[in-house]
Copies of this chain bind each other. A is one copy, B any other.
Protein backbone atom coordinates (compact mmCIF):
# COMPACT_ATOMS: atom_id res chain seq x y z
CA UNK A 1 0.00 0.00 0.00
CA UNK A 2 0.90 3.66 -0.20
CA UNK A 3 1.61 5.56 3.02
CA UNK A 4 2.16 9.30 3.14
CA UNK A 5 4.02 10.74 6.11
CA UNK A 6 3.42 14.45 6.73
CA UNK A 7 6.28 16.13 8.61
CA UNK A 8 9.70 14.48 8.43
CA UNK A 9 10.99 15.31 11.91
CA UNK A 10 12.05 12.85 14.60
CA UNK A 11 8.63 11.18 14.70
CA UNK A 12 7.76 11.28 11.00
CA UNK A 13 11.28 10.39 9.88
CA UNK A 14 11.30 7.40 12.22
CA UNK A 15 7.96 6.23 10.78
CA UNK A 16 9.42 6.38 7.26
CA UNK A 17 12.53 4.43 8.28
CA UNK A 18 10.59 1.82 10.28
CA UNK A 19 8.14 1.25 7.43
CA UNK A 20 10.97 0.94 4.90
CA UNK A 21 12.85 -1.46 7.16
CA UNK A 22 9.91 -3.74 7.98
CA UNK A 23 7.51 -3.66 5.01
CA UNK A 24 7.19 -3.34 1.24
CA UNK A 25 4.84 -0.36 1.41
CA UNK A 26 5.47 2.70 -0.72
CA UNK A 27 6.43 5.66 1.46
CA UNK A 28 5.76 9.25 0.38
CA UNK A 29 7.33 11.99 2.51
CA UNK A 30 5.97 15.52 2.78
CA UNK A 31 7.82 18.33 4.53
CA UNK A 32 7.90 22.11 4.47
CA UNK A 33 11.67 21.90 3.97
CA UNK A 34 12.83 20.79 0.50
CA UNK A 35 16.25 20.02 2.00
CA UNK A 36 14.75 17.52 4.42
CA UNK A 37 12.78 15.83 1.64
CA UNK A 38 16.00 15.59 -0.43
CA UNK A 39 17.86 14.07 2.53
CA UNK A 40 15.09 11.53 3.15
CA UNK A 41 15.19 10.58 -0.55
CA UNK A 42 18.99 10.27 -0.54
CA UNK A 43 18.89 8.04 2.55
CA UNK A 44 16.16 5.86 1.06
CA UNK A 45 13.78 6.69 3.90
CA UNK A 46 11.07 7.60 1.37
CA UNK A 47 10.33 6.48 -2.19
CA UNK A 48 9.13 9.87 -3.40
CA UNK A 49 8.09 13.31 -2.26
CA UNK A 50 4.53 13.58 -1.04
CA UNK A 51 2.40 16.64 -1.86
CA UNK A 52 -1.15 17.83 -1.28
CA UNK A 53 -1.97 16.18 -4.62
CA UNK A 54 -0.54 12.77 -3.65
CA UNK A 55 -2.63 12.61 -0.45
CA UNK A 56 -5.42 11.10 -2.59
CA UNK A 57 -3.14 8.21 -3.60
CA UNK A 58 -2.40 7.23 0.00
CA UNK A 59 -4.17 4.36 1.77
CA UNK A 60 -2.81 5.73 5.04
CA UNK A 61 -1.69 9.23 5.97
CA UNK A 62 0.21 9.79 9.22
CA UNK A 63 0.44 13.46 10.21
CA UNK A 64 3.53 14.07 12.37
CA UNK A 65 3.38 17.80 13.05
CA UNK A 66 3.08 19.87 16.23
CA UNK A 67 -0.48 19.92 17.59
CA UNK A 68 -1.63 23.29 16.14
CA UNK A 69 -0.14 22.49 12.73
CA UNK A 70 -1.65 19.01 12.85
CA UNK A 71 -5.10 20.52 13.38
CA UNK A 72 -4.71 23.11 10.60
CA UNK A 73 -3.24 20.57 8.17
CA UNK A 74 -6.08 18.10 8.75
CA UNK A 75 -8.79 20.74 8.39
CA UNK A 76 -7.20 22.43 5.40
CA UNK A 77 -6.70 19.19 3.49
CA UNK A 78 -9.89 17.40 4.54
CA UNK A 79 -11.09 17.22 0.94
CA UNK A 80 -7.67 16.14 -0.38
CA UNK A 81 -7.56 12.77 1.40
CA UNK A 82 -8.87 9.65 -0.31
CA UNK A 83 -12.53 8.98 0.53
CA UNK A 84 -12.52 6.03 2.91
CA UNK A 85 -8.77 6.39 3.44
CA UNK A 86 -7.30 6.14 6.92
CA UNK A 87 -5.68 9.19 8.48
CA UNK A 88 -4.04 9.42 11.88
CA UNK A 89 -1.94 11.93 13.78
CA UNK A 90 0.91 11.49 16.24
CA UNK A 91 0.37 14.28 18.78
CA UNK A 92 1.11 13.96 22.47
CA UNK A 93 -2.29 15.46 23.38
CA UNK A 94 -5.46 13.91 22.09
CA UNK A 95 -8.65 15.64 23.25
CA UNK A 96 -7.69 18.96 21.64
CA UNK A 97 -6.81 17.32 18.32
CA UNK A 98 -9.63 14.78 18.17
CA UNK A 99 -12.28 17.36 19.15
CA UNK A 100 -11.02 19.83 16.55
CA UNK A 101 -10.90 17.54 13.53
CA UNK A 102 -13.14 14.49 13.96
CA UNK A 103 -16.43 16.00 12.82
CA UNK A 104 -14.97 17.66 9.71
CA UNK A 105 -13.00 14.62 8.58
CA UNK A 106 -15.99 12.40 9.18
CA UNK A 107 -18.15 14.61 6.96
CA UNK A 108 -15.41 14.49 4.30
CA UNK A 109 -15.53 10.68 4.31
CA UNK A 110 -12.09 10.25 5.88
CA UNK A 111 -11.56 7.61 8.57
CA UNK A 112 -9.57 9.47 11.23
CA UNK A 113 -8.08 7.90 14.38
CA UNK A 114 -6.20 9.91 17.01
CA UNK A 115 -2.89 8.18 17.76
CA UNK A 116 0.18 8.67 19.92
CA UNK A 117 3.36 6.67 19.38
CA UNK A 118 4.98 6.60 22.83
CA UNK A 119 8.61 7.19 21.95
CA UNK A 120 10.98 10.10 21.75
CA UNK A 121 14.53 11.31 22.11
CA UNK A 122 16.17 14.40 23.55
CA UNK A 123 17.02 15.24 19.95
CA UNK A 124 14.69 16.41 17.21
CA UNK A 125 14.54 16.67 13.43
CA UNK A 126 14.99 14.17 10.61
CA UNK A 127 18.68 13.78 11.47
CA UNK A 128 17.71 12.27 14.84
CA UNK A 129 15.11 9.88 13.40
CA UNK A 130 15.84 6.18 13.32
CA UNK A 131 14.30 2.94 12.13
CA UNK A 132 14.23 1.41 15.62
CA UNK A 133 12.76 4.34 17.57
CA UNK A 134 9.45 2.51 18.00
CA UNK A 135 10.78 -0.99 18.57
CA UNK A 136 9.00 -2.39 21.61
CA UNK A 137 7.21 0.92 22.35
CA UNK A 138 3.49 1.46 22.98
CA UNK A 139 1.27 2.69 20.16
CA UNK A 140 -1.74 4.39 21.72
CA UNK A 141 -5.02 4.80 19.85
CA UNK A 142 -7.74 7.12 21.10
CA UNK A 143 -10.92 6.32 19.18
CA UNK A 144 -14.27 7.93 19.92
CA UNK A 145 -17.78 6.52 19.50
CA UNK A 146 -17.84 7.46 15.79
CA UNK A 147 -14.47 5.91 14.93
CA UNK A 148 -14.58 3.08 12.38
CA UNK A 149 -13.65 -0.23 14.10
CA UNK A 150 -11.92 -1.46 10.93
CA UNK A 151 -9.65 1.58 10.93
CA UNK A 152 -8.69 0.82 14.54
CA UNK A 153 -7.91 -2.82 13.75
CA UNK A 154 -5.96 -1.77 10.66
CA UNK A 155 -3.80 0.67 12.63
CA UNK A 156 -3.19 -1.83 15.42
CA UNK A 157 -1.88 -4.35 12.94
CA UNK A 158 0.13 -1.72 11.10
CA UNK A 159 1.80 -0.55 14.35
CA UNK A 160 2.86 -4.08 15.27
CA UNK A 161 4.11 -4.72 11.74
CA UNK A 162 6.65 -1.88 11.99
CA UNK A 163 8.01 -2.82 15.42
CA UNK A 164 5.75 -1.40 18.14
CA UNK A 165 5.68 -3.76 21.14
CA UNK A 166 2.05 -3.19 22.04
CA UNK A 167 -1.02 -1.20 21.15
CA UNK A 168 -3.20 0.42 23.79
CA UNK A 169 -6.65 1.88 23.35
CA UNK A 170 -7.89 4.71 25.56
CA UNK A 171 -10.38 7.54 25.30
CA UNK A 172 -8.83 10.92 24.43
CA UNK A 173 -9.64 12.18 27.95
CA UNK A 174 -8.12 9.16 29.65
CA UNK A 175 -5.02 9.46 27.47
CA UNK A 176 -4.59 13.13 28.35
CA UNK A 177 -4.99 12.58 32.09
CA UNK A 178 -2.45 9.77 32.12
CA UNK A 179 0.03 11.44 29.81
CA UNK A 180 -0.03 14.50 32.09
CA UNK A 181 1.26 12.26 34.90
CA UNK A 182 3.70 10.02 33.02
CA UNK A 183 5.23 12.41 30.53
CA UNK A 184 4.23 16.07 30.84
CA UNK A 185 4.84 16.31 34.59
CA UNK A 186 8.23 14.62 34.12
CA UNK A 187 9.23 17.37 31.72
CA UNK A 188 8.00 20.16 34.00
CA UNK A 189 9.73 18.73 37.09
CA UNK A 190 12.95 18.01 35.25
CA UNK A 191 13.04 21.51 33.79
CA UNK A 192 12.33 23.01 37.23
CA UNK A 193 14.91 20.78 38.94
CA UNK A 194 17.81 22.00 36.84
CA UNK A 195 17.14 25.57 38.03
CA UNK A 196 18.60 25.09 41.50
CA UNK A 197 21.44 27.64 41.74
CA UNK A 198 23.43 25.08 43.76
CA UNK A 199 23.79 22.90 40.67
CA UNK A 200 26.07 25.49 39.09
CA UNK A 201 28.87 24.53 41.53
CA UNK A 202 28.59 20.78 41.45
CA UNK A 203 31.40 19.50 39.19
CA UNK A 204 32.54 16.09 40.42
CA UNK A 205 29.46 15.59 42.59
CA UNK A 206 26.98 14.61 39.95
CA UNK A 207 25.28 11.43 41.06
CA UNK A 208 23.21 9.12 38.89
CA UNK A 209 20.03 10.23 40.62
CA UNK A 210 20.50 13.84 39.61
CA UNK A 211 21.29 12.94 35.99
CA UNK A 212 18.11 10.85 35.82
CA UNK A 213 15.97 13.61 37.29
CA UNK A 214 17.20 16.20 34.78
CA UNK A 215 17.59 14.16 31.59
CA UNK A 216 14.42 15.47 29.93
CA UNK A 217 15.09 19.07 30.99
CA UNK A 218 16.63 19.37 27.53
CA UNK A 219 13.35 19.77 25.67
CA UNK A 220 11.91 21.68 22.75
CA UNK A 221 10.18 24.64 24.42
CA UNK A 222 8.10 25.25 21.28
CA UNK A 223 6.61 21.78 21.27
CA UNK A 224 6.10 21.44 25.01
CA UNK A 225 4.54 24.89 25.40
CA UNK A 226 1.96 23.81 22.89
CA UNK A 227 1.42 20.37 24.48
CA UNK A 228 1.12 21.83 27.99
CA UNK A 229 -1.38 24.54 27.02
CA UNK A 230 -3.51 22.03 25.12
CA UNK A 231 -3.69 19.84 28.22
CA UNK A 232 -4.10 22.48 30.91
CA UNK A 233 -6.39 20.91 33.49
CA UNK A 234 -4.84 17.44 33.75
CA UNK A 235 -1.34 18.95 33.93
CA UNK A 236 -2.33 21.56 36.53
CA UNK A 237 -3.76 18.75 38.64
CA UNK A 238 -0.42 16.89 38.49
CA UNK A 239 1.71 19.94 39.27
CA UNK A 240 -0.54 20.88 42.20
CA UNK A 241 -0.40 17.30 43.47
CA UNK A 242 3.39 17.10 43.46
CA UNK A 243 3.69 20.53 45.09
CA UNK A 244 1.33 19.40 47.87
CA UNK A 245 3.33 16.21 48.32
CA UNK A 246 6.66 18.04 48.35
CA UNK A 247 5.31 20.29 51.10
CA UNK A 248 4.69 17.24 53.28
CA UNK A 249 8.37 16.24 53.11
CA UNK A 250 9.32 19.87 53.60
CA UNK A 251 7.23 20.25 56.74
CA UNK A 252 8.40 16.95 58.26
CA UNK A 253 12.05 17.89 57.68
CA UNK A 254 11.57 21.43 59.03
CA UNK A 255 9.92 19.99 62.16
CA UNK A 256 12.62 17.33 62.57
CA UNK A 257 9.75 14.82 62.62
CA UNK A 258 11.53 11.52 61.89
CA UNK A 259 8.41 9.36 62.26
CA UNK A 260 6.35 11.30 59.72
CA UNK A 261 9.28 11.57 57.34
CA UNK A 262 9.95 7.84 57.53
CA UNK A 263 6.28 7.12 56.91
CA UNK A 264 5.91 9.30 53.85
CA UNK A 265 9.17 7.95 52.41
CA UNK A 266 7.96 4.40 53.04
CA UNK A 267 4.66 5.14 51.26
CA UNK A 268 6.61 6.33 48.21
CA UNK A 269 8.91 3.31 48.25
CA UNK A 270 5.95 0.94 48.45
CA UNK A 271 4.15 2.68 45.58
CA UNK A 272 7.30 2.44 43.45
CA UNK A 273 7.71 -1.24 44.27
CA UNK A 274 4.10 -1.93 43.27
CA UNK A 275 4.66 0.11 40.13
CA UNK A 276 7.76 -1.89 39.19
CA UNK A 277 5.69 -5.06 39.37
CA UNK A 278 3.12 -3.61 36.95
CA UNK A 279 5.40 -1.77 34.55
CA UNK A 280 8.61 -3.72 34.10
Smallest CB–CB gap between A207 and chain B, Å? Answer: 5
Q: What 1/0 mask marks residues of chain A from 254 to 278 whose CB sits below 8 Å from any chain B CB? A: 1010100111111111011101101
* Of B220, B238, B279, the contact of A206 (CB 8 Å cutoff): B279
A29 vs B181: C-alpha distance when bound (angstroms): 45
Contact A261 B118 (CB under 8 A): no
Contact B188 A138 (CB under 8 A): no
Contact B213 A236 (CB under 8 A): no
**How many monomers of this chain does the complex have?**
2
Smallest CB–CB gap between A179 and chain B, Å? Answer: 7
Contact A246 B254 (CB under 8 A): no
Contact A229 B209 (CB under 8 A): no
Nearest B residue to A183 by beta-carbon distance?
A: B207
Chain A interface mostly: helix
Contact B189 A193 (CB under 8 A): yes
A175 vs B198: C-alpha distance when bound (angstroms): 11
Contact A278:B213 (CB < 8 A) given known A192-B249, A235-B253: no
B residues less than 8 Å from A2 (CB atoms): none
A196 at the B interface (CB under 8 A): yes
- A150-182 contacts to B (CB < 8 Å): 166, 168, 170, 174-175, 177-182
Contact A204 B140 (CB under 8 A): yes
Q: What 1/0 mask marks residues of chain A from 73 to 98 whose CB sits below 8 Å from any chain B CB? A: 00000000000000000000000000
A25 at the B interface (CB under 8 A): no
Q: How many residues of A contact B (CB 8 A)?
A: 95
A228 vs B278: C-alpha distance when bound (angstroms): 30
* Of B188, B215, B258, the contact of A229 (CB 8 Å cutoff): B258
* Of B209, B232, B271, the contact of A187 (CB 8 Å cutoff): B209
Smallest CB–CB gap between A225 and chain B, Å? Answer: 5
Nearest B residue to A272 by beta-carbon distance?
A: B217
A216 at the B interface (CB under 8 A): yes
* Of B120, B193, B265, the contact of A242 (CB 8 Å cutoff): B193
B residues less than 8 Å from A174 (CB atoms): 201
Nearest B residue to A203 by beta-carbon distance?
A: B278
Among A140, A248, A254, A275, max chain B CB count under 10 A is at A275
Contact A262:B225 (CB < 8 A) given known A182-B202, A239-B249: yes
A239 vs B264: C-alpha distance when bound (angstroms): 15
Question: 6 A-B Cβ contacts within 8 A?
Answer: A182-B207, A194-B268, A195-B241, A217-B268, A219-B269, A236-B254
Closest 9 CB pairs of A and B: A191-B268, A186-B209, A221-B265, A168-B204, A181-B198, A217-B272, A192-B245, A182-B210, A218-B272
